Structure 1
Amino acid sequence: MNAVTTLTVEDGVAVVTIDSPPVNALSAPVREGLKAAFAQAEGDDAVRAIVLACAGRTFIAGADIREFDSELVGPHLHDVQAVIEASTKPTVAAIHGTALGGGLEVALCCHFRVAVPSARVGLPEVALGLLPGAGGTQRLPRLAGVPAALDMMVGGRPIRADKACELGIIDKIVPEGELLAEAVSYARKAADAGTKLVRVRDRSEGLAQDTGPEVFAEFRKKHARAFHGFKAPANIVKAVEAAVALPFDEGFKREGELFEELVHSNESKAQRYQFFAERETAKIPDIPKDMPHIPVKSVGVIGAGTMGGGIAMNFLNIGLPVTIVEAKQEVLDRGVATIRKNYQITVDKGRMTAEQLDERMGLLKPSLAMDDLAQVDLIIEAVFEKLELKQEIFGKLDGIARPDAILASNTSFLDVDAIAAATQRPETVVGMHFFSPANVMKLLEVVRGEKSSDSVVATAMAVGRRIGKVAVLSRVCDGFIANRMMAPRMEAAQALILEGPMPSQVDKAMVAYGFPMGPFAMLDLVGLDVIGWDAATSSSSTVTEVLCEMGRWGQKKSGGFYDYDEKRRPSPSPVADQVVRDFQAKSGKQHREFSEREIVERLLFPVVNEGAKLLDEGIAIRASDVDVALVYGYGWPVFTGGPLFWADIVGLDRVIAGLEAAGHEPAPLLERIAADGRKLHQYQVA
């Protein structure tokens, strides 16, 4: 039919095959080919049934997302679906790999769907701030029922073929390797039997129960916290309500209206930006794509504390043997026990079998001897954040590790070049900064030292992706990208409470903006005593110092900026609030009421400013890397796109004015980009 579509006919069954690597996305050529092929098969009297199949590793894996921001070329997907759905001959979708988004919506226009056991289906548009806009919100509930359809679309997670079959989305599971033959057979039998053809749009079994108003009300209530800040989940619920209350054509029209609301919203634009930004992080302009990677088949971790144990779990999870080294037996035993406990929790939740737990623990070799790291491919140091200690360790590793082994430091602030200088092979040294808890948080900052070799950097980035992290490259500076960026927020928060707002008011504004918690709640969680307080030099000169002197170190002491009960639930603290009021009284600053917007801008504009500074210094490759790092490292709300994307939405002139009003000097890059009328989030280091 065209370069990506073929149509073959054998014994009365037409097979339409899409072959558009890598994932058969619904690009203009794919849509053109589908429409033409189904029209031709429908008009061919020799054709009694039609099978839709895909070449390569997957069925249609979704829409071509880039088309959302450009003028439509080729037929609209709705028109293609109309041709498929209008067929008077049995149509069968043969699904392997994944049928996601528009791919599943196309399959739902066929009369039947067969799939191999390994296939997965889903409507994950919510991750892009969208809803399924090609009939998914109308057709899926008719098969799977309202509760299951809502879970699939609002959660966005694909489901296995067996679950899809149980829900009525898939009609038959067929053996691996026999998909096409089984689909053709299924189609032929339907034609031979003269099976009455009922379109999904005309089916109603899924709407027969659990469709009352209380179902939707309860769903909204249950997910209210997860919905906060996002527009797409609410619109998905509205669209499914339309599927229940209205005839198909009217519900379909309502779906389209709700989709249009989303596609033009800042929230969806931000989420789509993040989607592409995350994929850009892997691209390093001055390192060739074909740069050979150093094989990593075994790993060593120095330090069995919270970070070291979490780092080790990442590698155990993908089946790599890990040697974990500590200086004292009791510390080593405690670290290994914590790893086992963490896995046991996963087993108890049904997400891992006991056999898998044993397999992973069997890959872990606890040791008190650094000499046991002599043959591993990658060594990650995860000890206390003290430069002299790390230099001592790397000096020892220099004489122990294989010459081609990668030596990585998990430092979160320190100078990777100073650490590398403790060795005779600085080209093999790189920073690999995991975020806590290391086995959960997705961000990995790969810190490129002045002498880190290209192959070491490329390997570290690839290793990050291999263990399921989003790897972002940073040059050396204090705090790298994420920690350096967020330090000004804490400084601004500490300064702001001297002008009137209480810590709880500041935290409330940050949570309303979309952060999982505010800066003062985060301080209590981390521990006020571990962020630079020293009892020997404490001088009662700040609110934090006074709280620490009082023994109010945060959650672990049942009191910090908040009071905590036995379950660590916070409540306002009269003691801490009085300390703040005392400092307000002697600050000499004029006190006033601040709106939530003012609090947000006072705390977050300095973050934007710091991002512009580190871009100007070449610490990050591009602005989008900065945004990805903040979203995955600090829970910056994805529906804002990250600090630099958000700054462009707010307006750079407003950011600059806000910085100046608060006594900050705007970064030169920020001023240059604003003066030129450019977008900060599109900036790339030359």
Structure 2
Amino acid sequence: MTAITEFVSYEAEGDVGVITVDSPPVNALSFGVRAGIKGGIEAADADSSVSSVVLVCAGRTFIAGADITEFGKPPKAPSLHEVIAAMEACSKPVVAAIHGTALGGGLETALGCHYRVASPTAKVGLPEVKLGILPGAGGTQRLPRVVGVPMALEMITSGNPIGASKALEVGLVSEIIDGDLKEGAKAFARKVVADGLPLVKISDQNDKLKEARENPGMFADFRKSIARKTRNFEAPENCIKAIEAAVELPFPDGLKRERELFMELMQGEQSFSQRYFFFAERQAAKIPDVPKDTPLIDIKTAGIIGAGTMGGGIAMNFLQAGIPVIIVETTQEALDNGIAIIKKNYAATVSKGRMSQDAMDKCLSLLTGTTNLEDIKDVDIVIEAVFENMDVKKEIFTKLDAICKDGAILATNTSTLDINEIGAVTKRPEYVIGLHFFSPANVMKLLEEVRTDKTSKSVMATCMALAKRIGKVPAMVGVCDGFVGNRILHRRAEQATQLILEGALPQDVDRVLYDFGLPMGPFAMADLAGNDVSWRIRQGKGQKSPIADAICELGRFGQKTGAGYYLYKDGSRTPTPDPVVEDIILKASKDAGIERREISDEEILKRCIYPMINEGAKILEEGIATRASDIDVIWVYGYGWPIYRGGPMRYADYIGLDNVVKTLREYQEQYGDYWKPAPLLERLASEGKTFQDA
């Protein structure tokens, strides 16, 4: 065996030259890997003892993508283009042996080989669009030449991988290897030589482009089909343009066009923010004061208190992870209704082809319903998901403390209440934690985990690991009113309400924030969540909100009642402005002595977004959130903040903290100390720094 570089070796195994990439953990395409592959190809080409070449990777995966840490740095030769060109030019057939994942640059590398084989569990894809870029090493030019334009459009603009069986079906791989992958790939390579098969250079293939060349409307139709899903994103459009270039231009010119479109994205703010978020999500899983080797509690069973919308959704996460669940309700009727909704949700997923009937049956076999709280005495974790009332939650936790076995984690799904106070009613406050799921809990990716003053490191580490196990993205925060997500949301809600008192209407505020990139504005979101939820919270705190209270007093709780801030006609989810609500708003303005005025879109945006940024700075100062990027993860995954804007704290860095402070001071002079900039924000702005510097 000859070491080509630190990460790549070459060895003649009989008449097959084997190039092995071994660069843990995912064989990313760093300089050392690129140089090694190119050197290995050159060594194999010059080795008279071999007649074919196999490219294989050690460890758990094939090349899983580019080395993202090299993004934005001066390029080092050889480029991936040069590596691929060397493989295509090799005088001996080169076979890629794929296992694990071949993603991004990994798949582009495989496309540079003359043939590809894969293990049964392998996955391949070009996910660059999820980082705000496009495949930049010929992926947009080669993939359509292999799988056809429609399939390439879907794969590249979605970024979603396909499995080995689908890859075989569409011609992306030539054979699936059961058993030893390297030996199977060597046997395939020998067969290519024995059968005198050609050296297939994808760059020379044009047959699969014929369909698109004869159907000029294909691209326009595809753009329409994804318009809603890709709203405001730049990368999907550039991906489409690059694939159009593959159809319309000779291969070398298509590569040049791909490069132009790639650099346009790479240098833009959207890609910067999406790449920032890639690292932010991974950082959020790390708790600085909880060591990596902290012992975990073994979670084999779970109990859920409450079979309503939240409880049922939470239960589904555990069931889909193969964890048995006991769900508790106070009455049989409520329990039956809750389980029926779980079954209905699963059935809908099966009908859409996103789940098999067998998988649904397996999930439901793990679910037990009961009206007896004692039945959860042996579970490893209990999650309370009843309505937001401190007295009720204290009563439940007092009972859980007496019933549940020693070492069981007692979690609450509260979105606002003081978990220190809840934990204090137990004899095991170190086992109490907040696990704030977002609605619908079986869909939303965020899990805002809330540590109390006494939560143990073991419980925190266990819950962070558990989040990953049940398919959630966790972020650990501290206790305060509303924690991180809702505390910031409250600031936006205050200003949204103030804006409609001063002259805007709900549809004005919602439109501005929708155009900014959010999935919906605050009033449409309130109608979706149910206005009665926040009404109940206000009543519990003795607070009033003239407009919101008046709407709720009319029984207008949102979509579920067919009316809220908007009308929802005939069961539709489409909001329609309602004169009744406008009358309520006009009366509230008059009662408050406010003379209504025209409010610009720019003012609406700044008055909704800047208080969020300011509150985020206060949260960081107080140590409620560990990192500014954790706040961004919470807002992207919990509230639909557009990922191409990175999150509210990343957006503040983009527009400049000095500009944010300047505007806040202007509003402070106009409206009062509500707008006073947070000390951290002022300090960072004065020093020319960003939240990431903090």
Of 371, 387, 407, 1:384 maps to: 387
Query: 2:559 aligned with 1:555, yes or no?
Result: yes
Of 258, 265, 268, 1:262 maps to: 265
* Distance in 2 between residues matched to 1:581 and 1:681, nearest whole Å: 43
Q: Counterpart of 2:159?
A: 156
Identical columns (%) = 53
Q: Counterpart of 2:419?
A: 416
Q: Counterpart of 1:598?
A: 603
Deviation at 1:582, TM superposition (A): 3.7
* Distance in 2 between residues matched to 1:233 and 1:396, nearest whole Å: 53
Deviations 1:277-323 (A, max 9, x none): 00011111111100010111111111111111111111111111111
Deviations 1:152-189 (A, max 9, x none): 011111001111111111111121x2221121122122
Detail structure 1 runs of 4+ shifted over 6 Å in the superposition.
Answer: 534-541
Check 1:537–1:516 CA distance in 2 against 1; reply closer, same or farther (3 A cut). closer
Deviation at 1:402, TM superposition (A): 1.1
* Distance in 1 between residues matched to 2:199 and 2:603, nearest whole Å: 60
Query: 2:72 aligned with 1:61, yes or no?
Result: no
Deviation at 1:585, TM superposition (A): 4.8
2:314–2:441: 8 Å Cα contact kept in structure 1? yes
Deviation at 1:63, TM superposition (A): 0.3
Deviation at 1:74, TM superposition (A): 4.4
Paired residue secondary structure (1:399): helix
Q: Counterpart of 1:621?
A: 626
1:561–1:577: 8 Å Cα contact kept in structure 2? no
Q: Counterpart of 1:305?
A: 308
Paired residue secondary structure (2:102): strand
Deviation at 1:595, TM superposition (A): 3.4
Paired residue secondary structure (1:75): coil
Paired residue secondary structure (2:56): strand
Check 1:539–1:578 CA distance in 2 against 1; reply closer, same or farther (3 A cut). farther
Paired residue secondary structure (2:342): helix
Of 184, 201, 204, 2:203 maps to: 201
* Distance in 1 between residues matched to 2:678 and 2:53, nearest whole Å: 62
Deviation at 1:587, TM superposition (A): 4.8
Of 551, 554, 567, 2:571 maps to: 567
* Distance in 2 between residues matched to 1:117 and 1:143, nearest whole Å: 20
Deviation at 1:565, TM superposition (A): 0.8
Q: Counterpart of 1:178?
A: 180
Check 1:514–1:234 CA distance in 2 against 1; reply closer, same or farther (3 A cut). same
* Distance in 2 between residues matched to 1:394 and 1:536, nearest whole Å: 19
* TM-score of the aligned structures, taking structure 2 as reference length: 0.96
What RMSD over aligned residues (CA atoms) do the two structures have, in Å?
Answer: 1.8
* Distance in 1 between residues matched to 2:198 and 2:447, nearest whole Å: 55
1:230–1:639: 8 Å Cα contact kept in structure 2? yes
Of 358, 363, 366, 1:360 maps to: 363
Deviations 1:389-445 (A, max 9, x none): 111111111111111111111111111110110011111111111111111111111
Deviations 1:524-555 (A, max 9, x none): 22222321267999999722222233333322
Paired residue secondary structure (2:571): coil
2:7–2:22: 8 Å Cα contact kept in structure 1? yes
Deviation at 1:263, TM superposition (A): 0.8
Paired residue secondary structure (1:625): helix
One-letter amino acid of the structure 2 residue matched with residue 579 of structure 1: I
Q: Counterpart of 2:672?
A: none
* Distance in 2 between residues matched to 1:555 and 1:380, nearest whole Å: 27
Query: 2:482 aligned with 1:471, yes or no?
Result: no
Alignment of 1:46-85 (within 5 A): 46-85=49-88
* Distance in 1 between residues matched to 2:554 and 2:416, nearest whole Å: 28
Of 667, 678, 681, 1:667 maps to: 678
Query: 2:140 aligned with 1:140, yes or no?
Result: no
Deviation at 1:235, TM superposition (A): 0.2
Query: 2:240 aligned with 1:229, yes or no?
Result: no
Deviations 1:543-582 (A, max 9, x none): 2222233333322332222222113222221222233234
Paired residue secondary structure (1:152): helix
Query: 2:550 aligned with 1:546, yes or no?
Result: yes
* Distance in 1 between residues matched to 2:562 and 2:192, nearest whole Å: 68
2:212–2:247: 8 Å Cα contact kept in structure 1? no
Q: Counterpart of 2:529?
A: 526
Deviations 1:13-54 (A, max 9, x none): 111010111111101110111111111111222221111111
Check 1:495–1:208 CA distance in 2 against 1; reply closer, same or farther (3 A cut). same
Check 1:531–1:217 CA distance in 2 against 1; reply closer, same or farther (3 A cut). same
Check 1:269–1:536 CA distance in 2 against 1; reply closer, same or farther (3 A cut). closer
Deviation at 1:644, TM superposition (A): 0.2
2:562–2:571: 8 Å Cα contact kept in structure 1? no
2:65–2:106: 8 Å Cα contact kept in structure 1? yes
Deviations 1:441-489 (A, max 9, x none): 1111111111111101111111111101001001111111111111111
Aligned length: 682
* Distance in 2 between residues matched to 1:553 and 1:381, nearest whole Å: 24
Residue segments in structure 1 that go unaligned for 5+ positions in a row = none
* Distance in 2 between residues matched to 1:361 and 1:34, nearest whole Å: 49
Paired residue secondary structure (2:12): strand
Paired residue secondary structure (2:243): helix
* Distance in 2 between residues matched to 1:154 and 1:633, nearest whole Å: 24
2:535–2:548: 8 Å Cα contact kept in structure 1? no
1:535–1:549: 8 Å Cα contact kept in structure 2? no
Of 422, 426, 430, 1:427 maps to: 430
Q: Counterpart of 2:511?
A: 508
Paired residue secondary structure (1:93): strand
Moved more, 465-474 or 206-215: 206-215
* Distance in 2 between residues matched to 1:675 and 1:360, nearest whole Å: 55
Paired residue secondary structure (1:25): coil
One-letter amino acid of the structure 2 residue matched with residue 542 of structure 1: P
* Distance in 2 between residues matched to 1:402 and 1:76, nearest whole Å: 59
Residue segments in structure 2 that go unaligned for 5+ positions in a row = 669-674
